[in-house]
Copies of this chain bind each other. A is one copy, B any other.
Amino acid sequence: MDAEQLREYGHKMVDFIADYYKTIENFPVLSQVEPGYLRNLLPDSAPNQPDSFQHVLDGEVAQLILEFIRLHIQAKILPGVTHWQSPNYFAYYPSNSSVAGFVGEMLSAGLNIVGFSWITSPAATELEMIVLDWLAKMLKLPEDFLSAGQGGGVIQGTASEAVLVVLLAARDKVLRRVGKDALEKLVVYASDQTHSSLQKACQIAGIHPENCRLLKATSSTNYALSPEFLSETISQDLTIGLIPFFLCATVGTTSSTAVDPLLSLGKIAKSNGMWFHVDAAYAGSACVCPEFRHYMDGVEEADSFNMNAHKWFLTNFDCSALWVKDRSALVQALSTNPEFLKNKASQANMVVDYKDWQVPLGRRFRSLKLWMVLRLYGLENLQCYIRNHIKLAKHFENLIAQDPRFEVVTPRIFSLVCFRLLPVRNNESHGNKLNHQLLDAVNSTGSAFISHTVLSGKYILRFAVGAPLTEEKHVNAAWKVLQDKATSLLAESL
């Protein structure tokens, strides 16, 4: 670790990354390589000596990294990259990068501390507590979620880890009450539109698969979970001696941004003594705007709330913000206290040790990037950022409405548009095939990347606006590609 070498290498890498963003539209947004492409380009084993070590001996330090970038990164890695930061990226949900997020990540990598306990870097723990309080206030979360009381926020890597840790907290809380042999009686509830990470969390936590109730949500509720259906199911389960203990609701589902009715669901959860988790991984970001905040109404009933700052909030991956009302439930499920980690501050209960709020022991200094995003952009700019993407999604929706061959399938709420090419002669099965073909045709051009879902048996295309560089011209260009490919496919299928 030579500071001057770090400076030289670092500057060259910054230039490479800045140039990458300047030219990002030149790359096919979805990588077009075939499986196994890289195996042919790299040697079978690591070098014994660095390839270009003579450069370092010659004092040509900068030359080494420039050659590495050209020969290895540009020639071998970039062709296999799917460019999530491209303005033509409309697949899944976005993964935002920003200048503040990027330099925050750099700083975290530079300091390279491991913040498992307060003492291993007090700033890491304290900044995380403060910044999650800031974000909670921006979202107008109830005060119970702030660190001043019994609750608080924590940065998890992903929403999957967020739902896992609260599920474990809830599981152990109920098992302490009813006895640990009752695991097989515990039941989890959510709609079938809930992210697959809930099911995975249940698998991990040992919840019996048949006790993971993914209740069917239909177009009649715009794919939101029906409180009546939930109530009935819980009653039936109680009758047969099962123990309902966890409800997960979503604000902005992955397939179609459906919003579950938090208030009614939360009341049902409360009256049954269940843990109520709200997953707003994607749509939570929009709720910093007053006009969208109402989608979170009822969050006051929740025991935990999650939003991913790394999706649509300019904070580089990974940064998933989780708040709980009762941090002791997390700590009871996840703490260990080995001798080699004991220290005065922890033993005296004077501090938070985030190791006890998460699965891993080690943790990065992730609050830096979120702090820099909040400070360097400020709330008003972040609101403008969200509103602009929603405006672009509305624009895309209007374009679809003007072409009678297409339909918007579910009401657009945030920045995702679910649409499809209408089936010819009402042949739904052929329609599904057609839309699948359209997806592949568009993605193989490399000029736009979209993804899909299935709702009520229909194959649907998803167009998610949210990449920081996306402008109206990119939306228009993607629409043009979609129309052209649709024209070709319809002609072929006649």
Q: Which of A290-298, A322-330, A377-385 contacts B (4 or more CB under 8 A)?
A: A377-385
CB distance from A238 to the nearest CB of B (A): 22
Contact in complex: B82, A121 (CB < 8 Å): yes
Contact in complex: A18, B46 (CB < 8 Å): no
Does A127 sit within 8 A of B, measured CB to CB? yes
Residues of B within 8 A of A42 (CB): 127, 130
Residues of B within 8 A of A204 (CB): 168, 204-205, 334, 359
CB within 8 Å of B: which of A357-401? 359-362, 364, 368, 372, 374-381
CB distance from A462 to the nearest CB of B (A): 7
Does A53 sit within 8 A of B, measured CB to CB? yes
Q: Which of A157-165, A244-252, A407-415 contacts B (4 or more CB under 8 A)?
A: A157-165
Contact in complex: B123, A81 (CB < 8 Å): yes
A115 to chain B: closest residue by CB: B82
CB within 8 Å of B: which of A105-123? 105-107, 109-114, 118-123
Contact in complex: B18, A158 (CB < 8 Å): no
Q: Which of A64-72, A227-235, A261-269, A486-494 contacts B (4 or more CB under 8 A)?
A: A64-72
Indicate the member of A1, A100, A341 with the most B CB atoms within 10 Å: A1
Q: Given contacts A1-B21, A121-B80, A334-B200, is CB(A50)–CB(B375) below 8 Å?
A: yes
Give 1 or 0 for each of A191-218: 1 = CB within 8 Å of chain B CB. Answer: 0000111011001111010000000000
CB distance from A82 to the nearest CB of B (A): 5
Complex CA–CA separation, A7 to B12 (angstroms): 10
Contact in complex: A46, B137 (CB < 8 Å): yes
Does A482 sit within 8 A of B, measured CB to CB? no
**Copies of this subunit:** 2
Contact in complex: A362, B134 (CB < 8 Å): no
**Which size bracket describes the interface of A in this complex?**
35 or more
Does A15 sit within 8 A of B, measured CB to CB? yes
Contact in complex: A4, B18 (CB < 8 Å): yes
12 contacts between A and B (CB under 8 A): A1-B469, A5-B99, A39-B126, A47-B378, A49-B379, A84-B121, A92-B341, A101-B109, A158-B362, A160-B362, A196-B336, A206-B206
Give 19 A-B pairs besides A84-B120, A339-B452 with Cβ atoms closer than 8 angstroms: A6-B99, A10-B106, A13-B106, A33-B122, A36-B126, A38-B122, A45-B134, A47-B378, A77-B368, A81-B122, A82-B121, A83-B113, A84-B114, A97-B110, A112-B316, A160-B362, A196-B337, A317-B364, A340-B452
